[in-house]
A and B are shown apart, each in its own frame.
Chain A
């Protein structure tokens, strides 16, 4: 059976130039016939342009997912923005790295991006510019951003005497600092 992928042609045409290559766009459908469009944007600042197009089509922001690439050589973070237009999901991935260290806020266009952006700033140390209210959401202002990912869990600490895990963490952070 041929898969039917739903979506707004005009919106997809507007969004396509925001990606650098054709391979950066993927369309899929689940087993219930719900459609998903995946765009990998050429640079983080393109999310602002995408937000403008989406707003014009009365899109709703569902969520922003941050992903930290653990590969020390890359030191990059990825953000995936999930929007809905008439039951169809549009996902936009932006890569934040040494070349593109910041991502613009979309809160001025989507008021409900406020908490999502504050959360990724706080827990993933993502640099978001022009956020209208960049206050902490969970942790106290005196704690550094990304604090929770640097802390060593109690279980690892307690097993430090008998397992190699704690020592390997210390060694790897020492190597990173060097």
Chain B
């Protein structure tokens, strides 16, 4: 180690970090040579809790694993239970689940891009993106009664229907938000300040992305065609038309553009759900619980969420395990940050849309 090389601790409490995580950065001058990461500050033992609650209560618990991906957790959890029970859910419920998921995806992607503008020091853009996001927050509150945890999924379908009046409201709000999203796309795509700060920064070559098994916009921003909605279609996704967004810049900017362009795909999906959703029941009745094991995965805003369940015939799972997208993406920071400057750490970190609470459970 030369005299200009030193180890710099960052976190667990730091102004650039939204949640507690501890980085040990090996720095040479201003340049980062190596990154080591330690977590464990917000481990809540949620998997253990899940094994003390019945299958129905766990819908509420899993929705609290993460805030921005909350719906994806209850969605995937319900999927894995339904796989274990071999339970077919009504057609309308499949569309309603996709609709809730895509509404959450828009709000989640906008939150991440807003934070990026904030870290880049573009305060007016940060405020503007948050203002646009508020339209989706209003949709969530009006349709589901909550701004964060929608509490719509249940085993066998969804808890409540969305009537014609609410569907009309959702479509109207999409018409309001669309031109504003187009404006944001233009800013993130062409604005000199944003491009200077993000283009070519935090490189993750496709071969590293593949080896590290990254997922979500992090994988698609490095040119990997990886999206559970396409690879293992579920709910109403096989009946809907949308594109997989892939960028090959491998940098912070690419990951941002994947999220921005995905906003429009989500709008396409919500509109199709509103138009094509068949009438009918929204819940299937519960069936007897067998002794079995099952697996399910879905595409959350941050990437793939996977659930594994083992049942023992009782109403309490013998084992419930889940893996969140951030869990796979953290290690990629070691590649992304190598060669970056200390001042760029927060921007690179934000580009994986990290969630510490999710990772630690």
Measured CA separation A84–B323 after assembly (Å): 14
Instruction: Give the contacts of A112-141 with B (CB-CB under 8 A).
Output: 112, 114-116, 136-140
Measured CA separation A80–B320 after assembly (Å): 12
- Distance of A106 from chain B, by nearest CB (Å): 12
Contacts of B238 in A (CB 8 A): 32
B216-260 vs A, CB cutoff 8 Å, 1 = contact: the mask equals: 000000000000000111110010000000000000000000000
Is the pair A87, B213 in contact by a Cβ cutoff of 8 Å? no
- Distance of A163 from chain B, by nearest CB (Å): 14
Query: Is the contact region of chain B dominated by helix, strand, or loop, or is it mixed?
Result: mixed
- Nearest-neighbor residue (CB-CB) of A29 within chain B: B83
Is the pair B319, A65 in contact by a Cβ cutoff of 8 Å? yes
- Nearest-neighbor residue (CB-CB) of B236 within chain A: A32
- Distance of B216 from chain A, by nearest CB (Å): 13
Is the pair A112, B308 in contact by a Cβ cutoff of 8 Å? no
Measured CA separation A36–B321 after assembly (Å): 17
Complex partner residue of A137 from B39, B231, B295, CB under 8 angstroms: B39
Contacts of B232 in A (CB 8 A): 32, 34, 84, 87-89
B78 interface residue, CB < 8 Å from A?
A: no
Instruction: Give the contacts of B77-128 with A (CB-CB under 8 A).
Output: 82-83, 86, 88-89
Number of B positions contacting A (CB below 8 A): 38
A21-37 vs B, CB cutoff 8 Å, 1 = contact: the mask equals: 00000000011111010
A62 interface residue, CB < 8 Å from B?
A: yes
B28 interface residue, CB < 8 Å from A?
A: no
B338 interface residue, CB < 8 Å from A?
A: no
B14 interface residue, CB < 8 Å from A?
A: no
Contacts of A112 in B (CB 8 A): 211-213, 328, 331
Contacts of A148 in B (CB 8 A): 45, 48
Is the pair A89, B295 in contact by a Cβ cutoff of 8 Å? yes
Is the pair B327, A67 in contact by a Cβ cutoff of 8 Å? no
Task: Report which residue of A63, A86, A89, A137 has the largest number of chain B beta carbons within 10 angstroms of its beta carbon.
Answer: A63
Instruction: Give the contacts of B275-299 with A (CB-CB under 8 A).
Output: 293-297
Complex partner residue of A139 from B40, B212, B318, CB under 8 angstroms: B40
Contacts of A114 in B (CB 8 A): 331
Is the pair B40, A137 in contact by a Cβ cutoff of 8 Å? yes
A51 interface residue, CB < 8 Å from B?
A: no
Q: A137-B39, A148-B45 are in contact. Are A65 and B308 (CB under 8 A)?
A: yes
B43 interface residue, CB < 8 Å from A?
A: yes
User: In which size bucket is the chain A interface?
Assistant: 35 or more
Is the pair B231, A84 in contact by a Cβ cutoff of 8 Å? yes
Measured CA separation A148–B232 after assembly (Å): 35
B73 interface residue, CB < 8 Å from A?
A: no
Complex partner residue of B43 from A60, A66, A138, CB under 8 angstroms: A138
Contacts of A103 in B (CB 8 A): none
Instruction: Give the contacts of A128-171 with B (CB-CB under 8 A).
Output: 136-140, 148-149
B360 interface residue, CB < 8 Å from A?
A: yes
Measured CA separation A167–B331 after assembly (Å): 43
Is the pair B327, A115 in contact by a Cβ cutoff of 8 Å? yes
Q: A32-B233, A112-B331, A138-B40 are in contact. Are A67 and B318 (CB under 8 A)?
A: yes
Is the pair A62, B88 in contact by a Cβ cutoff of 8 Å? no
B304 interface residue, CB < 8 Å from A?
A: yes
Contacts of A80 in B (CB 8 A): 293, 308
A38 interface residue, CB < 8 Å from B?
A: yes
Is the pair B331, A115 in contact by a Cβ cutoff of 8 Å? yes
A61 interface residue, CB < 8 Å from B?
A: yes
Contacts of A138 in B (CB 8 A): 39-40, 43, 360
Contacts of A87 in B (CB 8 A): 231-232
Measured CA separation A67–B295 after assembly (Å): 14
Residues of A within 8 A of B (CB): 30-34, 36, 38, 60-63, 65-67, 80, 82, 84, 86-89, 91, 110-112, 114-116, 136-140, 148-149
13 additional A-B residue pairs with CB within 8 Å, beyond A30-B83, A30-B296, A63-B321: A32-B232, A32-B238, A62-B304, A63-B323, A65-B308, A67-B319, A86-B231, A114-B331, A115-B327, A137-B39, A138-B43, A138-B360, A148-B45
**10 shortest interchain CB distances as A-B pairs:** A138-B40, A112-B213, A65-B321, A87-B231, A63-B323, A34-B232, A65-B308, A67-B319, A87-B232, A111-B211
